[in-house]
Amino acid sequence: MMKINAVTATAATVLAAHTLSAVGHGSTSSPVVGPRQVQPLFDHPLRDTAISRGPDGVYYLTGTSATQRPYGSLDFETNDGVWLWKSKDLARWDQMGQVWSISRDPIRFGNPHFGSPSMWQIAWRASRDPRVTTPVRGMTAPEIHFVKGGCYITYSMNGYGCDLLQSESGKPEGPYKDLGRMVRSGGDPSLFEDDDGAVYFVWGEGWIARMKDDLTALAEAPRLLAIQPEIEGGSWPLRIGSGGAFLFKAEAPGLKQGSYHLIGYEGIARMGPTLCCDTFIATADTVYGPYKRRDLMIPHGGQSTVFKGPDGQYCATFSGSDDWAAFRDKPGIVPLVAHPTEFGADFWWCGAFTKPWYPVTEGGAWSQIDPFVNEGIQRDVSILNAPDGYYYLTFTDMELHRKNNPKPREKIGVQVYRSKDMKTWEDLGVVWKCDNSPQTRAGLDKRLSLGGFGVILYDVELHYLKNTFWIISSMQTGKHWAEPDGCLILVLRSASGKVEGPYEFMWKDKHDCNFWTPSILEDDDGSVYIVGGGVGNTVAKLKE
């Protein structure tokens, strides 16, 4: 194994909070500080990075170490044990060295003839990768935990079962003794200590079992934590992921106090045939669930752990677990932000979850892209290059998705910005308000009455057709857009020819899923068409 001296992390800026001032009505906005690509904490090959804070206030890091194959590539299935690093500030990391050796430590607890809790480590096994034909032997996905006043390391032997080491000194540097094989199949083990002092063994796809008080064995039969399917009435997924289960509680604004948060990883072919090893999260009110719909927490995050930083900021570990990641197989950290996702539909409900806010975990040019304006949480950004020489910017304001919507009623509508150079943007304010139109006021009242939810305008687009400005959007008026009376499809035209309006209705369709997320098109003959991006990808011609 290569050695490493104390280094200063190049990712220290990732943990810095981004404070962005709001843009007021009539003001101008200069380019704001945008996302930055996550960087490795230090240059050392490591997978399944895990960080825990000790009772001494020091952070301890470990993960799956690698050896080098004869032809030069890294082998994360074969290693000689567990290594630790430590840091006081998450920036400068000192190597503590090897705290457990497969070739050295198992014989301290017995011999092969009389048995030993550690002797199962010595066996060489078939690789889980069908492309690897040689036997492997390594301690994979180790995590360090501080529970019940002691220090413990969970680990697996290449996914062929999970074990637990206990520090005899109570300190991270050990020495450690082996408490024995807790489960005889599976991998990626972890520990979770609840508020009542109960400790749970968590592993693999989301398996869990309460442990005996002395942590020497499981106190109950394992059970798989069930996840609500992503689609109502569906059957997939019923687990948090294919591995890397980790359970935690957190206290942060927006999070329901006392909730349990379960994370895990899954390989998803969302960017082509090469899988993205993403980190998912699901939330429950009790430790055994049921857990609500899982949601993406860290793109390309792989196996991860969650901990609280020196300033109280919750963070997650990151190792770069696929070819799309910002980097591969090195330790990293991303900050987390609590963000409730009550979209209104029961099957869409996710309780509360955390996700990376500013760090970009994907490779490529994404980290070089800055937002045009700092206004809430944006998606479905649309820009119109108008004949008057201005660029006009609109977007879906995700602040309106939030429970207890922070925006006042008079701000619920279509907000527009304009720019001559797409660098400095002028806020024109809300050019059309839901409350100003009798056709939409009733929907606004209904939406605001649903447990504090705000009205939602999806996929807002601004167009210039027939010598005037047009607005087209989907307006959610119920708990979910697909339910009866759940949405309106809006087509508005400026009566003045100016972007400020006033706007008149050209078409309003009530609850037609075929026209959800619409757009508008003027053909060469002057005909105007509404293009629906919903269920049926429908096209309809407007009357003259």
| In the chain, where the domains are located | 36-367, 370-541
Closest CA to 359 of 313, 298, 408: 298
Q: Give the model's confidence band at 303: pLDDT under 50 very low, under 70 low, under 90 confident, else very high.
A: very high
CA distances from 27 to 404, 412, 417 (A): 27, 19, 10
Retrieve residue 338's tokens: 């609590």
Retrieve residue 340's tokens: 């409730």
- The residues near 499 (Cβ < 8 Å, ≥ 6 apart) are 386, 392, 416, 418, 428, 431, 462, 469
Contact by Cβ (8 Å): 350, 295? yes
- State the burial class of residue 407 (Cβ atoms within 10 Å of its Cβ: 0-12, 13-18, 19+): middle
- 36-367: what fold? Tachylectin-2; Chain A (2.115.10)
Model pLDDT, residue 510:
54
Contact by Cβ (8 Å): 180, 216? yes
Model pLDDT, residue 35:
66
- Asked whether the predicted pLDDT for residue 331 surpasses 80, the reply is yes
Model pLDDT, residue 236:
66
Once rounded to an integer, what is the mean pLDDT over residues 89-109? Answer: 91
Q: Give the model's confidence band at 170: pLDDT under 50 very low, under 70 low, under 90 confident, else very high.
A: very high
Model pLDDT, residue 75:
93
Q: Which of 241-245, 249-253, 281-285, 349-353 has the highest mean pLDDT?
A: 241-245
Question: pLDDT digit string (tens) for 501-544?
Answer: 999 988 765 545 556 678 888 999 999 988 876 655 678 888 77
- The two beta strands, 81-87 and 352-356, are unpaired
Whether the model clears a pTM of 0.85, i.e. scores above it, the answer is: no
Does the domain spanning 370-541 belong to CATH 2.115.10.20?
A: yes
Q: Give the model's confidence band at 461: pLDDT under 50 very low, under 70 low, under 90 confident, else very high.
A: very high
Residue type, 288: Y
Domains 36-367 and 370-541 share a fold: yes
Model pLDDT, residue 141:
98
- Calpha distance 299→322 (Å, rounded): 10
Beta-bridge partner residues of 256: none
Question: pLDDT digit string (tens) for 422-460?
Answer: 999 999 999 998 887 777 777 777 777 665 455 578 889
- Asked whether the predicted pLDDT for residue 290 surpasses 60, the reply is yes
Closest CA to 178 of 82, 100, 63: 100
Q: Give the model's confidence band at 232: pLDDT under 50 very low, under 70 low, under 90 confident, else very high.
A: low
